[in-house]
Structure 1
Amino acid sequence: MKIKILITIFTITVIFSGCNSKIENKMSTTEIFPQGEPLPNEWFTGNAFLKSLVARDKNNDFSAGSVTFLPRARTNWHTHPKGQVLLVTEGSGIYQEEGKQAQKISKGDVINIPENIKHWHGASADSKMVHIAITNFKDDSQVTWLEAVSDEDYESANK
């Protein structure tokens, strides 16, 4: 009788551990959207990619895209004439407004960037970071690209 109980417990344990490993494998894939296309080096330092999600149309005066920054990748300084919202979906990174302390950002953070605020954002030195960027239009403009973030400023922001 004891042997039958032990065999039953062992069988149930094996079945449930197999189910758990399948669940864990599905959960370990954290990407919501594919990586997308490489972004231009004239506006980004390092390897950054965009997967367009929503284009401006008659119903939406904004666009949305999933932006993947590999470690150390970042935007140039820039502004948005009607603001932007970032929804961090994976990893950890940095957001900084001109004249303010850089702040660490990570999965689950929401960054509401007011219009015409000079800022930059990107991955930390040791982690990739993915965010969904929702960017409003003003007339036909969404962004004004400025100078690159210096390596010194980037390193300082990573401390």
Structure 2
Amino acid sequence: MKIIACGSVPTIIAPDRYFTGRVLQTPIIEKEAPARLRATLVSFEPGARTYWHTHPLGQTLYVTAGAGLTQSWGESVRIIRAGDVVSFAPGEKHWHGAGAKTAMAHIAMQEALNGVHADWLEAVTPEQYGG
């Protein structure tokens, strides 16, 4: 058994090469091979969002607070709220983040394939975001 004490893992400001706006990330777990799971608590300030990206084995989000937006490539922007669970298929191009006037937090869960959890792409434009 391993217990990771609350407050023992630092929260970081997410890198601006993958996010627009202020985003905080608090790691929950990253298992070593042969396990592949990574889970992170991600908190988005209003207007903040990820870049477009994919996950080789898919991704699941559990929205823990607030309301936000998400979109898969070629589809409409969708509203997500606390308590929602959002699943993306392997290789599905998508983004997610806060609403224009509302903060949002979620737990992001994904598995690695050959050590890769995500493939980051281009920024979401203001027109795509809409807010």
TM-score normalised by the chain length of structure 1: 0.74
Counterpart residue type for residue 64 of structure 2: T
Give the residue type in structure 2 aligned to 1:47: R
Is residue 112 of structure 1 aligned with residue 90 of structure 2? no
Q: Going by fraction, where is helix more abundant, 1 or 2?
A: 1
AA at the equivalent of 2:42: V
Shift of 1:65: 0.6
Residue 57 (structure 1) shift? 1.9
Higher RCO, 1 vs 2 (CA within 8 Å, ≥6 residues apart): 2
Match of 1:69 in 2: 44
Count of residue pairs the alignment pairs up: 124
User: Are the structure 2 counterparts of residues 140 and 59 from structure 1 closer, same or farther at C-alpha, using a change threshold of 3 Å?
Assistant: closer
Deviation at 1:71, TM superposition (A): 0.3
Whether the 8 Å CA contact 1:35–1:68 is kept in 2: the answer is no
Matched, 1:123 2:98: yes
In structure 1, list runs of 5 or more residues that go unmatched: 1-32
TM-score, scaled to structure 2: 0.90
1:108-154 deviation digits (Å, cap 9, x = unpaired): 00001110000000000011100000011111111000000001111
- How do 1:3-22 residues align onto structure 2 when only pairs under 5 Å count? none
Give 1:59 deviation, angstroms: 6.6
Return structure 1 stretches of 4+ with deviation > 3 angstroms. Answer: none
Counterpart residue number, 2:76: 101
Q: 1:46 aligns with which of 12, 15, 21?
A: 21
In structure 1, C-alpha distance between the alignment counterparts of 2:53 and 2:28, rounded to whole Å:
21
**Distance in structure 2 (CA, Å) of the matches to 1:36 and 1:132:** 14
Mapped to 2, the partners of 1:137 and 1:58 lie a distance apart of 9
Q: CA RMSD in A?
A: 1.6
Q: Which residue of 2 aligns with 1:90?
A: 65
C-alpha distance in structure 2 between counterparts of 1:90 and 1:50, whole Å: 14
